[in-house]
Structure 1
Amino acid sequence: MKYFNKLLSKKHLFFLLISFTFSFSLFAQKYDTVIKNGRIIDGSGNPWFSADVGIKNGQITFIGFIQASDATKVIDAKNQIVCPGFIDVHTHVEDAIQKLPTADNFIYDGVTSIITGNCGSSEVNLAKFFDELKQIKLSVNLGSLIGHNSVRRYVMKNVFRDPTAKEQTQMEALVEQAMKDGAVGLATGLIYIPGTYSKTPEVVGLAKVASSYGGIYASHIRDEASKVKEAINEAINIGREAHIPVEISHFKISSKPLWGQSNVTLDLVEKARLEGIDVNIDQYPYTASSTNMGTMLPSWALADGDSLVHIRLTDPETRKKIREEMLKGLKADNRKNFDYAFVARYRADSTLNGKNITEINKLLGRKLNMETEADLIMDMVDKGGAQMIFHKMSEEDVARILQYPFTMIASDAGVIQFNRNVPHPRGYGSNARVLGVYVREKNVLRLEDAVRRMTSLPAQRFRIDNRGLIRTGYAADIVIFDENKITDKATFEKPHAYSEGIDAVLVNGVAVLENGKHTGLKSGEIIYGKGKVN
């Protein structure tokens, strides 16, 4: 018995020593990085609080008081705001991210994760796209939607007709494969060809496939001007029929006669939510949009490929019909000319970048009337078209939409090459503008709520489980900024300017922006949708 007790005490001592050693190792755990002296806004909408943040292996592992000696690297937040990295749910980076993988314009604006493939335009083979990006590595995390326009064009080209049953099945199969490859949902651009040629049932069929794999439906709706209410209702109806969450992209009113009616359009969203339909919206905080010049022409004129478009634009009778429709739309918007439309990028003649259609018409010595301006637009489209900026919204509507509690902040931008062309400033300063103008200067939003709209709300909407909050176990995507200095510097006249007031940006625990400067590091990951099949 004495021998047994002695043996038991030795075993007990052995386990006590193991337990003590384990506890000591936890106590003495070294963090890769500790952020000290910050005021944390955790992304939930709750008020800020003082705490340190410990990071190890790309994750947040502790929030509280941490000894500086416990960390390999210490970042002094200097009493600035420490919050989750911003998630930009509406971007278009397919054509440039491979050449500009450091995504500087996004990083300098505090963005750590982006969702691309919006407005119906995406890579069709997402598995190949993701593999390519993993090889070159990015400074931001990236997820993608599968674009309806891209899928339709792949199967049907740019034809102006309904799909056959076989074609519908082919499109649904492509959407299914994309969801299995990790798409976060389906995106439509119903104002663009060939998506504008589709009817609602076609989109519902594709949305049902995305829904079955846990995706969402994000839509550039069919009309954001005179028929905006009908277009919103169509998006809601697709959500209702396909049983899929709906995201209405860059929510706005682009019709001058309807300025001030954002309360009506927001009410449509609110009523849908009360009905039980999961609808959210996103917005960029500017009174101008940006898209291609082709949207200024009736969509039927752009069908069936460039050669037929050229024939229509040069045939006198067809050209006259196109002009009449363009002028009818202009007059319906209570405008006398196209001076609201500025050229951002025109490959045929870059000297016209930054000028509006009326200015260009005058510069070319043409008659100063809306008819010749419409002809100028057709001529430019025939030469390849242009990326445009359209000043067509009111500040009243922008502010009211921003105040809606389920509005997310998005840039609707791509990766921008610095000092090239005259792009929309939203690509440089959307988040900083909200925090500087609409929080600090205009008091439209509280700081904590603005951060929520940039972090946990988009993470919830796009079903990104481990980002969007300062929480233990979450990815260490973090932004440190001075709420008294954060400012968007980009303007419409001089758009190439990075935001100021953001001191540091961490992506998966790695400082890609430090002391206000991009480090060149690329620690981003691919964000896969719920339907990903390994």
Structure 2
Amino acid sequence: MKLVPRIFAVTLVLICGPLAQAETYDLIVRHGRVVDGTGNPAYFADVAVTNGHIAAIGRIDGDAKREIDAKGLIVAPGFIDVHTHADEVAEMPYAENFIRMGVTTIVVGNCGASELNIGNLFKNIEATNAALNVASLIGHGTVRGKAMGGSFMRPPTPQELDKMEGYVDQAMRDGAVGLSTGLIYLPGTFAKTEEIIELAKVASKYDGIYASHMRDEGTGIYKSLNELFRIAREAHIRAEVSHIKLSGNSVWGQTEKVIAAIENARAEGLDITQDEYSYDASSTGMSQLVPDTAREGGHEKFRERIKDPEQKSAIIAKMKASLKEHGRDNYSYAFIAEYKHDRSLQGLDITEAAKAKRGSDSLDDQIEMILEIESNGGASGVFHGINEKDLQIFMSQPNTMIACDSGLREFGKGVPHPRGYGNNPRVLARYVRETHTLKLEDAIRKMTTLPAQTFQFKDRGQLREGNWADLTIFDPEKVQDNATYKEPHHYPSGIPFVIVNGVAVIKNGELTGERPGKALRHTPSIQ
């Protein structure tokens, strides 16, 4: 019997459906104009977020748990402020004055003053859950004061220098992004360049940065720049000029010369950058009007010196000489921001304060007023001494970052510098929209990718798939700083959404109460 193969017909049933199922995201920002932080032209796109990261940019057909309609708005990376004095962020974790400016990452520990134990700083920030991301420098003044027991007018001993190097080394291991100096402040003002070089070498081992409030931003600025260049050269470290400016009308108009000095250093192979705030006034302690040597050792020593007629006369002579050197004949440029001993003087300049308290605004009475303030514990001040044209020229330089040089603000307290409420919005309103000093894309770059690259923040500062979802969404026609020198306690307008690590901290212009920020530890890579 012959076997015949049987052929079985097999019918394949295809179940037709969509080629790919729509992906679900945590958040989609739709219809916005994306400025990605690189300086490239803006473009229209949606931005999707999943698990705190940017998942997609482009035309997104998927759905999401939450959506933001950004029609008419700019979608930018969250702003990064590399020069702040918000060191108490663990105690004030909402950092509202910063996040309302669109700032999602800050660097603390500037001007030589920081927490000594950077590891504990980060642990406290994580325990508190700050609303924004926080990185820190290690302050030279802090380690000098700890190692030397005070602000002594002398070099450290070899043993003290070893201690200082140990503090810096530990800070870098704990995640500090670099070393900062404040060379107009005690005790840093007494440090020799060689001391700073040795400490900068320690930070350099971990590829940290050296950020300096230089010794002089007026007539001695070129000598100060040369010191910074020498430290960068001999320590083999990247260097940052903090809040670049020409302070005092005797040096106004010398921006091109300053820029040439920096560019020559860069041409030599040094990695030099700078940051700047968008105001024509600075802010620091009123004590800076008093000679360093008079303040060495603290307020008790200072009080003893001004009780001695001969020492007091020498102090007054130095103050008058300094005033003349800076092209001024009185202290009307210096305003009292916060003075706990007598709050009635807050908001007044020194001439007004002297008239109110002493009945005379003569130069001698102005100086007596300053000495009285210092003897009573000191005050913070706002100092008008920057030329607007100089400011714009520095701002337009490709290596200038935008940074506010402010601390955290208690709303309504004192008469502080308005930069703590309006720095970034002021750049977007005045210097982009009004004066056209910057193009929008360039301004955003100075607030995002440039600081992220300079301070080595990985996966931040640019709208790119895979990066952390730090976003600032604003109306380019309505963004506005509202804080003024006379009335600083006003939040900016025109920034309806700020997102940190994928979570909205500002929603429809209101504080959400969310605190999704992270401690940004610099990853040590010993060289």
TM-score by length of 1: 0.94
Partner-residue secondary structure (3-state), 1:38: strand
Partner-residue secondary structure (3-state), 1:208: helix
Is 1:402 matched with 2:386? Answer: no
CA distance in 2, matches of 1:398, 1:154: 36
Q: Could you tell me which amino acid in structure 2 is paired with residue 380 of structure 1?
A: I
Match of 1:65 in 2: 59
CA distance in 2, matches of 1:420, 1:453: 30
Match of 2:192 in 1: 199
* Matched length: 512
- Maintained 8 Å contact 2:46/2:59: yes
- Maintained 8 Å contact 1:463/1:530: no
CA distance in 2, matches of 1:408, 1:54: 28
Is 1:33 matched with 2:32? Answer: no
Structure 2 gap segments, 5+ residues each: 1-11
Q: 1:359 aligns with which of 344, 348, 352?
A: 352
How much does 1:362 deviate?
0.6
Change (3 A) 1:532 1:127: farther
Of all paired residues, the percent bearing the same amino acid is: 46
CA distance in 2, matches of 1:314, 1:434: 47
- Maintained 8 Å contact 1:39/1:50: yes
Match of 1:111 in 2: 103
Is 1:102 matched with 2:94? Answer: yes
Partner-residue secondary structure (3-state), 1:393: coil
Partner-residue secondary structure (3-state), 1:55: strand
- Maintained 8 Å contact 2:207/2:525: no
Aligned alpha-carbon RMSD (Å): 1.7
- Maintained 8 Å contact 2:358/2:365: no
- Maintained 8 Å contact 1:220/1:248: yes
Match of 1:433 in 2: 426
Match of 2:327 in 1: 334
CA distance in 1, matches of 2:525, 2:338: 37
CA distance in 1, matches of 2:407, 2:197: 28
Q: 1:523 aligns with which of 493, 516, 520?
A: 516
Q: What are the equivalent positions in structure 2 for 1:254-265 lying under 5 Å apart?
A: 254-265=247-258
How much does 1:227 deviate?
0.4
Q: What are the equivalent positions in structure 2 for 1:144-163 lying under 5 Å apart?
A: 144-156=136-148, 157-163=150-156
- Maintained 8 Å contact 2:193/2:231: yes
Match of 1:4 in 2: none
Moved more, 71-80 or 366-375: 366-375
Q: 2:74 aligns with which of 81, 101, 104?
A: 81
Q: Could you tell me which amino acid in structure 2 is paired with residue 279 of structure 1?
A: I
Partner-residue secondary structure (3-state), 1:440: helix
CA distance in 2, matches of 1:401, 1:481: 25
Q: Could you tell me which amino acid in structure 1 is paired with residue 159 of structure 2?
A: K
- Maintained 8 Å contact 1:327/1:371: no
Match of 1:46 in 2: 40
How much does 1:237 deviate?
1.1
Match of 1:137 in 2: 129
Give the 4+ runs in structure 1 shifted more than 4 A. Answer: none
Q: 2:119 aligns with which of 119, 127, 130?
A: 127
Q: Deviations over 1:270-325 (max 9, x none)?
A: 11111110000000011100000111111111112332222112221111110100
Q: 1:234 aligns with which of 215, 222, 227?
A: 227
How much does 1:178 deviate?
0.2
How much does 1:369 deviate?
1.7
Q: Deviations over 1:353-399 (max 9, x none)?
A: 10010001111234332122112111110100000100011111101
Q: 2:380 aligns with which of 352, 369, 387?
A: 387
Q: 1:422 aligns with which of 415, 421, 442?
A: 415
Q: What are the equivalent positions in structure 2 for 1:376-525 lying under 5 Å apart?
A: 376-525=369-518
Q: 1:272 aligns with which of 265, 269, 272?
A: 265
Partner-residue secondary structure (3-state), 2:496: strand
Is 1:250 matched with 2:243? Answer: yes
CA distance in 1, matches of 2:250, 2:395: 21
- Maintained 8 Å contact 1:184/1:528: yes
Q: Deviations over 1:160-190 (max 9, x none)?
A: 1100011111000000000000000000000
Q: Could you tell me which amino acid in structure 2 is paired with residue 61 of structure 1?
A: A
CA distance in 2, matches of 1:500, 1:268: 38
CA distance in 2, matches of 1:76, 1:283: 33
CA distance in 1, matches of 2:458, 2:466: 11
Which structure features the higher share of helix residues? 1
How much does 1:101 deviate?
0.8
Q: Deviations over 1:75-134 (max 9, x none)?
A: 110131101000000000123x23321111101100000000000000001111111111
CA distance in 1, matches of 2:75, 2:327: 46
Q: Could you tell me which amino acid in structure 2 is paired with residue 99 of structure 1?
A: E
Partner-residue secondary structure (3-state), 2:358: coil
Structure 1 gap segments, 5+ residues each: 1-12
Moved more, 72-81 or 469-478: 72-81
Q: Could you tell me which amino acid in structure 2 is paired with residue 101 of structure 1?
A: P
How much does 1:66 deviate?
1.4
- Maintained 8 Å contact 2:205/2:525: no
CA distance in 1, matches of 2:344, 2:514: 35
Partner-residue secondary structure (3-state), 1:317: helix
Match of 1:180 in 2: 173
How much does 1:532 deviate?
7.9
How much does 1:236 deviate?
1.2
Q: Deviations over 1:380-430 (max 9, x none)?
A: 101000001000111111011011111000000011010110000000111
How much does 1:267 deviate?
1.1
Match of 2:3 in 1: none
Partner-residue secondary structure (3-state), 1:416: coil
